[in-house]
Amino acid sequence: MRWILLLVLSVSLPALADLEYSLKPRQIAQDTWLLEGSTDNFAKANGGNIVNTAFIVTERGVVVIDTGPSRRYGEAMRKAIAAITDKPVIEVLLTHHHPDHVLGDQAFSDVPISALAGTTELLHQQGDAMAENMYRMVGDWMRGTEVVLPTQTLTPGVKSFGNHDLRLLSLGGHTGADLAILDQQTGVLFAGDLVFYQRALTTPNSPGLSVWLADIATLQGLPWTQVVPGHGPVSSDPQPFEQMRDYLTWLDQLMRDGAANGSDMAEMIRSPIPERFASINLSRYELIRSVSHLYPRYERERMTRVDSIRN
């Protein structure tokens, strides 16, 4: 029996040792560092590292923006921060409740973890189910990961961290509770998942594409110098906003037309994707998901209540 246990350990331990996130902070502005994820889908090959996280080294200490998809990622993020500065982490700001942005919270449970009230409520409602789904998708990368709720509630306005004044915006197009952060010193805009760039957007909690379009206008109107999307490359030009606006407008019109024509969901998910979106990763995959999330709403809007029909 003992030799069997040793054999199992000899096989499993090297595999677990390979589960290391290669997080390489890249400086994008003064005191500002980005940890850029891929634009692929969740997979065991990437450990769920498909998200952009960041940190700002202020006079008071380090402010972390989102903590990644797992406890293991959060721990790797703390090591990456320590390799850049010996200043302590003083606060975490969560942009929204989706698992790839918050399941690294365990590694930061010794500092305040702050979020919008709506984000905390959504994470309370959905966190365990989302974590279980992440376990199914990326496997052992998630070992030991548990949901940690925010400990402080953020409100819109300016929050100062020494030499960095962060403007906090409460928006809602992606989940109904979306935090965007503008560093008023550097002009870096951390847009969270209100902005996807070169990666198709996700819609599981969106209150509506019109809300999202209004948020894009709000963000673009800010005095930003660089945009950090939740997913995709950083940009110093307005292309991420233009791509988002174009895609959201097309998706909204596609589903309006489909509902008006009486198309069923199976027809909608086979809709042609315009050539201009060909370079956006996971376009077909996310179209299928968006139709399943949103199309019933468009169909209901076209329905006439029987009791409202008059002879």
Q: Classify residue 260: in a domain, yes or no.
A: no
Q: Classify residue 307: in a domain, yes or no.
A: no
Q: Classify residue 198: in a domain, yes or no.
A: yes
Q: Which domain does 92 fall in, by range?
A: 16-236
Q: Classify residue 266: in a domain, yes or no.
A: no
Is the pLDDT score of 308 beyond 70? no
Task: Give the pLDDT confidence of 180-189 residue by residue, as tens digits.
Answer: 999 999 999 9
- In which band, very low, low, confident or very high, does the pLDDT at 18 lie, cut at 50, 70 and 90? confident
Q: Classify residue 282: in a domain, yes or no.
A: no
Q: Where are the beta strands (DSSP E) in 94-177?
A: 113-116, 152-154, 157-161, 164-171
Q: Classify residue 1: in a domain, yes or no.
A: no
Average pLDDT over residues 183-200: 98
Q: What pLDDT shows up at residue 94?
A: 99
Coil, strand, or helix at residue 80?
helix
Task: Give the pLDDT confidence of 117-138 residue by residue, as tens digits.
Answer: 999 999 999 999 999 999 999 9
Our count of domains for the chain comes to: 1
Is the pLDDT score of 243 beyond 80? yes
- The CATH number of whichever domain residue 36 belongs to comes to 3.60.15.10
Q: What pLDDT shows up at residue 304?
A: 59
121-130 residues labelled b (16+ CB within 10 A) or e (exposed): ebbeebbeeb
Query: pTM here?
Result: 0.92
- In which band, very low, low, confident or very high, does the pLDDT at 288 lie, cut at 50, 70 and 90? very high
- Is pLDDT larger for residue 30 or for residue 18? 30
Q: In what order do the strands lie in the sheet with 178-183?
A: 157-161, 164-171, 178-183, 188-196, 226-231
Is the pLDDT score of 7 beyond 60? no
- How far is it, in rounded angstroms, from Cα 131 to Cα 287? 23
Average pLDDT over residues 243-270: 97
Is the pLDDT score of 1 beyond 70? no
Q: What pLDDT shows up at residue 12?
A: 42
Is the pLDDT score of 241 beyond 70? yes
* Mean pLDDT taken over the chain: 93
CA 37 to mean position of chain CA atoms:
11
Is the pLDDT score of 211 beyond 60? yes
Q: Classify residue 281: in a domain, yes or no.
A: no
Q: What pLDDT shows up at residue 11?
A: 41
Q: Classify residue 48: in a domain, yes or no.
A: yes
In sign, the C-alpha dihedral spanning 21, 26, 28, 30 is positive
